[in-house]
A and B are shown apart, each in its own frame.
Chain A
Amino acid sequence: MSDLLQHVLNGLAAGTIYALVALGYTMVYGVLKLINFAHGDVMMVGVYVGYASAKQMGRDTSSSFLGVTLVFLLSMAMCAALGFLIERFAYRPLRDKPKLTALITAIGMSFFLSYSFQLEASLGGLTVLPGAAPRAFPDVITSQVWLIIGDVVVSNKQVISVVVALALMGGLQFLVFRTRFGMAMRAVSFDHRTAGLMGIPVDRVIALTFMLGSALAAGAGILYAIKDTLVQPLMGVTVGLKAFVAAVIGGIGHVPGAVVGSLCLGLVEEFVVGYGGSTWRDAVAFGFLIAVLLFRPEGIFGRVTAEKV
């Protein structure tokens, strides 16, 4: 029983991190109907920015509360800028071209980021590209056990990651459903051209959506890296793909759906690792996707829309 609880807890903690990445996929899909395959790699860049800024600050500064916050903020800001540039120069020129063109460009952008980060380059003593060797993320949050109930162990990292993820998601939910910008986003997501007729600056809304999604991905990346992972240039591909799967399970384009899909995926993976065998983890994750899509091709929350004439 306590085993089960522990797995549920771990699964949910992992799921919230997927959710942050999945939200980026789903938001961009919402406004552009584009699967931004470079999204996971933007997350990877965010992790490296976090890595570099933590190293620069040194161990003492970076593990203070202010230091950790700064690591998060720097990484999120840099990724927002990267998201802006990618949209502006890679996707916007292709906006009126067939959807497939942008999709292939997104895949190209993904390769561009993940493979250029495998190069090593420095400029005046400052490392610009890190190279392929995996590195351990600086220990900005030292592992502690915060709570033990029976045999269930809750670590500080799990709590922090869930709290940060929930706060970011709450903020996003507020932005999308309670603000003027959010309404503009939903209008753009339904129909660009009509949104423009309302006076909504469509290009700006799309750019901001990319920036927002990329910043969330950076936050997720650091939570992921802090947990247990080595930092390496291809890390974005796997996490990105999983988060994409989660977004599709929830119903791509649907904000709460992305969260629910991610939590499901986190739980499924955790149970496989806990009770079956960790080698089956990815197979089961994608199998789960197939199973969901067999019964609900539009995802759990996705809607089949039909227009009235």
Chain B
Amino acid sequence: MTSAAASTAASTAAATPAPSPTARPPALLSVGDLHVSYGAITALRGVSLSVGQGEIVALIGANGAGKTSTLRAVSGMLSPKQGSITLDGKPIAGRKSHELVPLGMAHAPEGRGIFLNLSVDENLTLGAYLRSDHEGIEADRENGFTLFPRLRERRQQRAGTLSGGEQQMLAVARALMSRPRLLLLDEPSLGLAPQVIETIFKILRAVNQTGVSILLVEQNAHLALGVAHHAYVLETGQIVMEGTGKDLLATDEIRRAYLGE
């Protein structure tokens, strides 16, 4: 990340060196010609993108552009009409969510998907539903509490009593409980106060540095492009532009359309 990008992005931008645009790491996730529709309504018309090993990739675009649909198709929440999705070269299109978790996929969905009827602890336990290594699970729970100390204070509380920011923290901590290799995040900044956003993005960076690849969907283009190694712009179901976060931040069209400059 260059200093120019860092100063435009929120102060969350620290020192992750972005790979040069020509040399992206080998793909962990790759999506090709993805079509998704809800009944008669077409949401995606031929989306292709990839997430390299260890990358943070941002998918930005306006409301209704198809960002959430892309994530849902990738994590098996809906099955695509057409197109390929591969994880580590293995085809996964059309497979159900619960089959993808053991392959290393974790998805903190739109609206956070917290089980409001369960306690914070139970939510975290569910994040590790498929694991049976008791000690490893407890270690990861501790780790989550270290990342987000406020969750430790509220571990016995019903998740429904948490604030929006705390719920978002829980969503991230819970997603990490499955020890994912690919983390899908849907609008983690939505509706949160700037400091909370800052905390969460700082942690996302740290998580990424432990080797977890991240596909981040955001309406807040500033924020997303600030952290992303690579980014795609989605418009009415199609990718219209891609590049490094830094490059896109410097593009006039992006500045006009998404940064309000």
B96 smallest CB distance to A (angstroms): 6
Within 8 Å of chain A (Cβ to Cβ): is B243? no
Contacts of B164 in A (CB 8 A): 308-309
Determine if A191 is an interface residue (Cβ-Cβ < 8 Å).
yes
**B113–A194 touching, CB < 8 Å:** yes
Asked if residues A187 and B118 are in contact (CB atoms below 8 Å), the reply is yes
On chain A, the residues within 8 Å of B109 by CB distance are 193-194, 197
**Given A199-B178, A309-B191, also A190-B129 (CB < 8 A):** no
Q: Which of B150-169 contact A (CB under 8 A)?
A: 160, 162-164, 167
Determine chain B's interface SS by DSSP, over half rule: loop
Stretch at the interface among B97-105, B139-147, B198-206, B213-221: B97-105
Q: What residues of A have a CB within 8 angstroms of the CB of B122 in the complex?
A: 183
B residues within 8 A CB of A190?
A: 115-118
A148 at interface by CB-CB < 8 Å: no
Residues of A within 8 A of B98 (CB): 196-202
The interface residues of chain A lying within 8 Å CB-to-CB of B125 are 183
Asked if B118 contacts A197 (CB within 8 A), the reply is: no
Contact B160 A184 (CB under 8 A): no
A308 to B97, CA, bound (A): 25
Interface size on B, residues (CB 8 A): 31
Q: Is A307 an interface residue (CB 8 A)?
A: yes
Chain A nearest Cβ from B157, distance in angstroms: 13
Interface: B76 (CB within 8 A): yes
Residues 88-133 (chain B) with a chain A CB within 8 angstroms? 96-98, 101-102, 106-107, 109, 111, 113, 115-118, 122, 125-127, 129-130
> A residues touching B (Cβ–Cβ < 8 Å)?
180, 183-184, 186-187, 189-191, 193-202, 305, 307-309
Q: A193-B109, A193-B113, A201-B98 given. 15 additional CB < 8 A pairs?
A: A180-B129, A183-B118, A186-B118, A189-B117, A190-B117, A194-B115, A195-B126, A196-B76, A196-B96, A197-B101, A197-B107, A199-B98, A199-B129, A309-B111, A309-B191
A-B contacts, 12 of them at CB < 8 A, read: A183-B125, A187-B118, A193-B77, A193-B109, A194-B115, A196-B77, A197-B77, A197-B98, A198-B98, A200-B98, A305-B116, A308-B160
